[in-house]
Structure 1
Amino acid sequence: MTRVGVPSEIKTDEYRVALTPAGVRELVDAGHEVLVQAGAGLGSSLSDEAYTAQGARILPDAAAVFAEAEMIVKVKEPQPGEVAMLEPHHLLFTYLHLAADVELTHGLAASGATCIAYETVEDSRGRLPLLAPMSEVAGKLAAQAGAFILEKPFGGRGILIGGVPGVPAARVLVIGGGVVGMNAAFIAIGMEATVTVFDRNIDRLRELDIAFGGRADTVFASTLAIEEALPEADLVIGAVLVKGAKAPHVITRAQLGLMKPSAVLVDVSVDQGGCFETTHPTTHTHPTYDVDGITHYCVANMPGAVPITSTYALTNATLPYVLDLADHGAVAAVQRSPGLRAGVNVAHGQVTYEPVASVAGVPYVPVEEALGLTSTV
């Protein structure tokens, strides 16, 4: 039996929770104990009674959850007070995005806990199954938010994204054609914007061209191609992902001068450091800021704005992995699963994900060495 703890999320404007009552039921039926902090699900319209009805035990605060649980399941990266409660016997399973947060990397290493990041867990085809559902949500929200922020009272140019007869639609650039970019483009297309998607993978551009059915342009993402498109752009959505690493800058501060006054930048890559040079994290309460006359929307937990959708989508994706870790323990589960092995970012005081170690300036230790695994799976 594993005691699985679900604390309340405390990041600003975060309303998601790591497990639904359905997830609790699956764990309890498998013989595990689930400890849920009082009120943890309220932001997602899930009452304590909904959890206890499926076998969870409600604890009064995060300290009680961390003290009793062996495995901590969260949504967002632990905040400083949560890092302080981690101990070497803990297994932490959550989004970490450590490439953008050196201080957190050092804090998790100092805790001695084993920390598995949702965003670097892989499936058998090298895809990111636990990042995908939130990328879908964030991509769709990026287009919605961009359309909203384009309105004059919110800092935008004062343009309707879909236009009207006789007046052109907004020009939307989506930089990055992965899950975020594809979903952003689909929503922008649905709102009748004029959409161009940039990516450096020709095969991916072919796939997108088929998926869009000719309703959007696809362009190879050279620096010159992006630069030439910026003067006509009303909205630019940054959707660049380098697996587990810091996002590269695809628009520099100098290039902002090419854009129309009050054009809008939405950076979905902000969790990985941002793909615009002028990006810094914002919140849902204060989502935008201005740099050189360009409005930036860089909310670091975009899916938190739609917690009911996001919480259920996340639990659907994470639950099989949560069950595997609870059933077998971290070492055995990681030994069995190449995908989970790729998710281990920190273990026993060592950084076990190479891009994170490089950014943090600490030695990279292979997960096999840190956890005492055999080298094959």
Structure 2
Amino acid sequence: MIVGLPKEIKDNEYRVGLVPAGVRALTDAGHTVLVERGAGEGSGFEDSLYQRAGAKILDSADDVWAEAEMIVKVKEPIEPEYKRMREGQILFTYLHLAPDRELTRQLLERKVTGIAYETITDRHGHLPLLTPMSEVAGRMAVQIGAHYLEKMGGGRGVLLGGVPGVPAARVVILGGGVVGTNAAKIAVGMGAQVTIIDKDLDRLRELDDIFLSRITTLASNSYSIHEAISHADLIIGAVLIPGAAAPKLVTRSMLKDVPNGAVIIDVSVDQGGCIETTHPTTHSDPTYYVEGVLHYCVANMPGAVPRTSTFALTNATLPYALKLANLGFLKAISEDKGLRAGVNTYAGHITYQAVAESQNLPYTPLEELVEDLA
């Protein structure tokens, strides 16, 4: 298979879809890897490293997309990349289609096979390709929140861990999954008062055990959420419904009761955000205020630490890329139901139910489009 590795072009996105070791694994297996010049520089990988691993360096993204049968990326395509996608091409990347009608339309019209990292599952039903970036984003959320709580950052002027005689900051985390757990680890480690809110009582019991009662846990309902954020210095949105738009747990009217200068970090922004006032921002222009509350809603937070993020991501994605290249798309999804769950679009159809429901568009099971799919 011809595998293409273009440079990411989203605002301040420095990650890359393959490291040189991944290129070597693909070329050793007999595949051709085309790398756009400079694709890995943001993560510290010079073109020469890719060349030594067996890749061919091409001068432009147009050339990579035109020749490749499978494109391996990090972030979803944005407008300049739409025209490069073509019928039957495999696009292997984060897609986050639920809130993105235009990208969905482009994938359908161009009949691209869109395989989303965020909906691939393992044998336990977990999301192995989403987990590493959720770990990074959860940990980053606290350090970013700590910065913006500083007066010069635009916040209340509160030190996250406090000092003897002065209370620590109050951190409220909406969601007890991978993002929420990793955020709690850092916040607890910095000495903050941490509350995690989740609808799964068993998960709250697990978190109570993990943190040895150093956190407060609350069952999720609108009253508890409103009460908790009314006293919060830092609110972290960490809600995920795989493939679907995030539910709006915090309304604009609730923000009127949040202290002025408090900070919201909505990690759920990739799936539309779990705060009503959330809209995507960029690393170049990351924050805005609503009701006196600072919002940080950068949709590619891990891109700020690309060296760490790229290694963490590609450790997880490479086995799937190899499977697709070695077996071909049809055989790979036939043998691996978890990989099949990653297929969001195929042959002009939406093949992931949560995406279709989020956009009120027709859903077609992949099994109806592919013969002999077990």
5 Å-filtered alignment, 1:1-377, equals 2-370=1-369, 372-376=370-374
Distance in 1, matches of 2:357 and 2:219, equals: 29
Moved more, 229-238 or 178-187: 229-238
Give the C-alpha shift of residue 227 in structure 1.
1.2
Distance in 2, matches of 1:165 and 1:79, equals: 49
Contact residue 105 and residue 360 of structure 1 kept, 8 A: no
Moved more, 283-292 or 269-278: 283-292
Aligned length: 374
Q: Which runs of 5+ in 1 are unaligned?
A: none
Q: SS in structure 2 opposite 1:173?
A: strand
Contact residue 72 and residue 93 of structure 2 kept, 8 A: yes
Give the C-alpha shift of residue 171 in structure 1.
0.3
TM-score (norm 1): 0.98
Counterpart code for 2:94: Y
Q: How much is the aligned-residue C-alpha RMSD, in angstroms?
A: 0.9
Counterpart code for 1:333: A
TM-score (norm 2): 0.99
Residue identity (%): 59
Counterpart code for 2:218: V
Contact residue 112 and residue 347 of structure 1 kept, 8 A: yes
Give the C-alpha shift of residue 154 in structure 1.
1.5
CA displacement 1:165-196 (0-9 Å, x = unmatched): 11110000001000000000100011100001
Contact residue 88 and residue 347 of structure 2 kept, 8 A: no
Distance in 2, matches of 1:46 and 1:230, equals: 42
Distance in 1, matches of 2:254 and 2:127, equals: 32
Contact residue 7 and residue 40 of structure 1 kept, 8 A: yes
Contact residue 175 and residue 199 of structure 1 kept, 8 A: yes
Distance in 2, matches of 1:346 and 1:250, equals: 29
Distance in 2, matches of 1:38 and 1:166, equals: 55
CA displacement 1:289-338 (0-9 Å, x = unmatched): 00010110100000000000000011100000000000011111011111
Distance in 2, matches of 1:11 and 1:285, equals: 11
Give the C-alpha shift of residue 219 in structure 1.
1.2
Contact residue 99 and residue 359 of structure 2 kept, 8 A: no
CA displacement 1:341-371 (0-9 Å, x = unmatched): 110000011111111112233211111123x
Task: Return closer, same or farther for 1:375/1:328 CA change in 2, 3 Å cut-off.
Answer: closer
Give the C-alpha shift of residue 90 in structure 1.
0.7
Q: Which runs of 5+ in 2 are unaligned?
A: none
Q: SS in structure 2 opposite 1:108?
A: helix
Contact residue 290 and residue 296 of structure 1 kept, 8 A: yes
Distance in 2, matches of 1:241 and 1:208, equals: 17
